[in-house]
Amino acid sequence: MGDVLLSLDAVSKSYWRGPSEVRVLEDASLEVLPGELVAVWGKRGAGKTTLLRIAAGLEAPDSGTVRFDGEDLSLLSEGQHARLMRERVGWVRRAGPSSELAMIDYVALPLLIDHGQRGAHRQASEALRRVGMSECAGQRWSSLSDGERALVAIAHGIARAPSLLLVDDPTANLGLREREEVLELLLSLVEEMTLAVLMTVPDMPAAMRSHQLRALSGGRLLMPSPPPQGGGNVLDFPRGERSA
């Protein structure tokens, strides 16, 4: 591991829902290093996707600072931010392509601008190989199982060999075996590619093997206490005094 790649410092964000202000993030602080997988667990609607969008500079926080490799994202021009996103940040989302693209073309999409079709397909093939999905290169999204879709989505995210991978609920709707397969793959990619990964998950078991674990609750990022010795997998979140 090296220096901090991504840092959020005292980040807050609110939205208005009708007449009420809803605080999605409150003084949230987090650091992600190369070679590290950081998992954020939270219920649906807790603000996990908002956290990822702010980490990528796609949404501005109301207060606080987001830095990528030491640079304050709020100070980047639109062109500088677009280049950063294209060259150094990968996304893994559950939603697949809207059209019936072959998976080789879907994974190649982020590469076309810089590499052309031949180069993009070459790198896309390598990304599919890395996740064990080479045989699905010619298949369509609609023909894949949920587990296969999760793996192809990871291939799409790593195709450009990014420094930071933002992963949005990759284990949602998956069975236990498939969840373990996805997490094992992400951990191996972190090591092989020295990736920094910020991952959100909908339940605790999917996050237990991460290098750092936080819970997003009430807008705060909390450091959970370990389960009591002798059994149980329910972690304790004591009233926010363990905020990180």
Look at residue 243 and tell me whether its pLDDT is greater than 50. no
**What pLDDT, in 10s, does the model give residues 23-40?**
899 999 999 999 999 999
Domain with 41 in it:
6-96+163-222
CATH code assigned at 176: 3.40.50.300
> Has residue 134 been placed in a domain?
no
pLDDT confidence tier of residue 229, bands split at 50, 70 and 90: very low
Cα 232 to its chain centre, rounded Å, is: 27
Look at residue 136 and tell me whether its pLDDT is greater than 80. yes
**What pLDDT, in 10s, does the model give residues 152-176?**
999 999 999 999 999 999 888 888 8
Average pLDDT of the chain to the nearest whole number = 87
Backbone Cα Rg of the chain: 18
| Measured distance CA(120)–CA(126) in Å, rounded | 10
Per the structure, how many domains does the chain have? Answer: 1
> Has residue 231 been placed in a domain?
no
Q: Are residues 75 and 236 in contact, defined by beta-carbon separation less than 8 angstroms?
A: no
Cα 128 to its chain centre, rounded Å, is: 18
Distances (CA, A) of 143 to 41, 182, 183, 225, 227: 30, 19, 23, 41, 40
Look at residue 12 and tell me whether its pLDDT is greater than 90. yes
| Measured distance CA(156)–CA(44) in Å, rounded | 24
pLDDT of residue 228: 42
Tell which residue, 80, 52, 56, has the closest CA to residue 68.
56
pLDDT of residue 149: 93
